[in-house]
Amino acid sequence: MFDSLSENLQSAFKSIRGKGKLTEANMRDGLKLVETSLLEADVSISVVEQFMGRVTEAALGKRVLLSLKPSEELIRIVYDQLVAILGPVDNTIPLQRGQVKTIMLCGLQGAGKTTTCGKLAQLIKESKFKPYLIAADLQRPAAIEQLHVLGRQLGVGVFSKEGASDPVAVCQEGIAAAKAAGADVVILDTAGRLAIDEELMGQLKSIDRSVKPDQVLLVVDGMTGQDAVNSAGAFNAALELDGVIMTKLDGDARGGALLSVKAVTQVPIKFLGTGEHLDALEPFRPEGMASRILQMGDILEVAREAHRLVDEDERKAMEERMKKGQFGLTEFRDMMQKLRKPGLMQKMMGLMPGMGEMSKALQSADSDKEMRRIAGIIDSMTPTERDNPKIIDNQRRMRIAAGCGATAPMVNELLKQFDQIAGFMKMMSSGGAREKMAALQQMQGMMSNNPMNPMQGMSLKQSTGKRLTPKERERLQKERDKAVRKAKRKN
């Protein structure tokens, strides 16, 4: 989709290429394409209309830089406007020693509230505060048990009341229990409800009135469509939201609903959910979200590249990082994803040393699937693990594998391959042409018997990809036992 948008934009702007100013007339086609792109990203149409007005205003009279194509200039304006609307950033949650703070999560059915309760609890725990969960969803079958399971996983207290029917009472009793348990932050997991369900919205209001949470957060599914304006508007009207969390952004949803939600509620976006695991919660960054919504990660790269070509500093900094070996799994994943867009590569050549050659090698059959598989494994790691793969022990390996349907040996294999690649990247970025040639040759050799496929030789297991079979668990258990015995012997 994006590829065609970028091409279309370029042809729409052919006539004013590299000269003159942006005017309403010469932007018309370009703006149309931007509108279409936003609609495809599920931004609500009323919000799109407002937004296009803003963009037009900001763009009118803008001189097109000689170094930039008009299409790139327009996209930069659109991007900047998106960033401005999605911001400002406020990732804070109420934490204060000696006080019991309360956070209430609400939203439509299945948005990800309960899971996000667990994620927030983990975050709070990591900040050395004591979270406490309250099971106020008395509606959905096994909702209470679900929260208990998360609580057990995290070692966090969970309050629930067998047979209760009044969530207001449960919340009140739960907060008293949390205080008694010495908790710092109480998180209320409320039942999913429709924004048009007056009765259940009324119930939410009574919880709000009786508990007076320090923060009320709306949890929104990243795949939400046009209805986002209605539901978010209704929740905000009923509760005066303090923030928004958007979930399920680990897939290919562009998440344009976030723009709608922001436009109608005007409250800060706090976090993004990027997986089912409890550590898959990322602080919100408007820049990342803006390029995601526009699905222009790549064209933005190119637009930035245009600036960067002038501004060599950033490029130097990147090379510097690589030289120092600061090429982590996150960078690896990002690089792979960029490399998947063939057309882009030519433009990106020189941005990262050696990428051009690699991209050619990567365009072999099946590499797309493979790369998605690898990206899946990397996504399943925590940020800390990505930065420092050395800490990945058996237990972590098992968790990573379970999270993405791979097996522990696949994770191992990936880590091994990554080691080689990271070394290669370092070589490529260090100094002279001769070293680079040597590195390239080495890399090509590596890839010819293993075409950038860390999973090669494991295809049998691949075809039965799964979260974890009992057999595998048994084997992993054995491995773990062995490791424990080994460690004991050492002591």
Partner 1 sequence: MVFWRKKKDESVSSGEDKSAASKVANERSASTAAGDPLAQQTLPGETKIASSHSEKDIKPETDQAESATPEDGGSWFKKLRSALHKTNQILQTDIRDLWKSEGRLVDDDFLRELFVILVRTDMGQPTATRIRDRIGREFRGRKVTKEEVLESARSEILASMQNRSVELQFATSGPTVILVVGVNGAGKTTSIAKLAYRLRKEGRTVILGAGDTFRAAAVEQLKIWSQRIGCEIVSGEMGSDPGSVAFKAVQRAREENFDVCIIDTAGRLQTQVNLMQQLEKIRKIAAKQIDGAPHEVLLVLDATAGQNAISQARGFSDVAGCTGIILAKLDGSAKGGVVVPIMTEFSLPVKLVGLGEKLPDMAPFDPEAFTRALLSFDN
Ligand X SMILES: Nc1nc2c(ncn2[C@@H]2O[C@H](COP(=O)(O)OP(=O)(O)OP(=O)(O)O)[C@@H](O)[C@H]2O)c(=O)[nH]1
Q: Which amino acid is at 56?
A: T
Q: By CB under 8 A, is residue 45 in contact with partner 1?
A: yes
Q: By CB under 6 A, is residue 253 in contact with ligand X?
A: no
Collect all residues with Cβ–Cβ distance below 8 Å to 298 and sequence separation of at least 6. 2, 6, 338, 341, 344
Dihedral through CA 338, CA 339, CA 343, CA 346, nearest 10?
100
Q: By CB under 8 A, is residue 195 in contact with partner 1?
A: yes
The interface mask with ligand X, positions 92-111, x = CB under 6 A, is ---------------x-xxx
Nearer to ligand X, 196 or 438 (CB): 196
Output the residue with the shortest Cβ distance to ligand X. Answer: 192
Per-residue burial over 126-165, b if 16 or more Cβ lie within 10 Å, else e, is eeebbbbbbbbbbeeeebbebbbebbeebebbbbbbeeee
Collect all residues with Cβ–Cβ distance below 8 Å to 423 and sequence separation of at least 6. none
In this chain, which of 30, 112, 151, 167 binds ligand X, going by CB under 6 A? 112
Q: By CB under 8 A, is residue 342 in contact with partner 1?
A: no
> Binding segment for ligand X among 94-102, 234-242, 271-279, 482-490 (CB under 6 A)?
271-279
Q: By CB under 8 A, is residue 146 in contact with partner 1?
A: yes
Residue 428 interacts, among partner 1, Mg ion, ligand X, none and using kind-specific CB cut-offs from 5 to 8 Å, with: none
Integer Cα distance of 167 and 189 in angstroms: 10
How many of the chain's residues bind ligand X (CB under 6 A)? Answer: 22
> Binding segment for ligand X among 124-132, 237-245, 274-282, 383-391 (CB under 6 A)?
274-282
Q: In what order do the strands lie in the sheet with 215-221?
A: 157-159, 131-136, 185-190, 101-106, 215-221, 243-247, 269-273, 281-283
Site for Mg ion in 48-67 (CB under 5 A): none
Integer Cα distance of 319 and 219 in angstroms: 39
Nearest of 391, 340, 370 to residue 465 by alpha carbon: 370
* C-beta of residue 86 within 8 angstroms of C-beta of residue 269: yes
In this chain, which of 17, 372, 482, 485 binds partner 1, going by CB under 8 A? 372
Q: How far is the CB of 193 from ligand X (least distance, A)?
A: 8
Residue 280 interacts, among ligand X, Mg ion, partner 1, none and using kind-specific CB cut-offs from 5 to 8 Å, with: ligand X
Q: By CB under 5 A, is residue 114 in contact with Mg ion?
A: yes
How many of the chain's residues bind partner 1 (CB under 8 A)? Answer: 72
Residue 253 interacts, among Mg ion, ligand X, partner 1, none and using kind-specific CB cut-offs from 5 to 8 Å, with: partner 1
Integer Cα distance of 411 and 398 in angstroms: 9
Q: By CB under 6 A, is residue 255 in contact with ligand X?
A: no
Quick one: tokens of 51? 């937004």
Q: By CB under 8 A, is residue 197 in contact with partner 1?
A: yes
Site for partner 1 in 217-236 (CB under 8 A): 221-227, 230-231, 233-234
Matching residue, tokens 């790691």: 381
Residue 14 interacts, among partner 1, Mg ion, ligand X, none and using kind-specific CB cut-offs from 5 to 8 Å, with: none
| Pairing between β-strand 243-247 and β-strand 269-273 as defined by DSSP bridges | parallel
3-class SS at 279? coil
In this chain, which of 76, 101, 113, 341 binds ligand X, going by CB under 6 A? 113
Q: By CB under 6 A, is residue 275 in contact with ligand X?
A: yes
Residue 10 interacts, among Mg ion, ligand X, partner 1, none and using kind-specific CB cut-offs from 5 to 8 Å, with: none
Collect all residues with Cβ–Cβ distance below 8 Å to 420 and sequence separation of at least 6. 446
Nearer to Mg ion, 113 or 254 (CB): 113
Q: Which amino acid is at 7?
A: E
* C-beta of residue 356 within 8 angstroms of C-beta of residue 345: yes
Residues 355-359: contacts with CB under 8 Å, at least 24 apart: 357/440, 357/443, 357/444, 358/443, 358/452
In this chain, which of 29, 80, 166, 276 binds ligand X, going by CB under 6 A? 276
Site for partner 1 in 302-321 (CB under 8 A): none
In this chain, which of 168, 468, 479, 480 binds partner 1, going by CB under 8 A? 468
Q: By CB under 8 A, is residue 405 in contact with partner 1?
A: yes
Q: How far is the CB of 107 from ligand X (least distance, A)?
A: 6
Site for partner 1 in 147-186 (CB under 8 A): 147-150, 153
Q: By CB under 6 A, is residue 376 in contact with ligand X?
A: no
DSSP code of 466? -
Integer Cα distance of 367 and 340 in angstroms: 9
Site for ligand X in 175-204 (CB under 6 A): 191-192, 194
Q: By CB under 6 A, is residue 114 in contact with ligand X?
A: yes
> Binding segment for Mg ion among 108-116, 279-287, 354-362, 368-376 (CB under 5 A)?
108-116
| Pairing between β-strand 101-106 and β-strand 185-190 as defined by DSSP bridges | parallel
Residue 483 interacts, among partner 1, Mg ion, ligand X, none and using kind-specific CB cut-offs from 5 to 8 Å, with: none
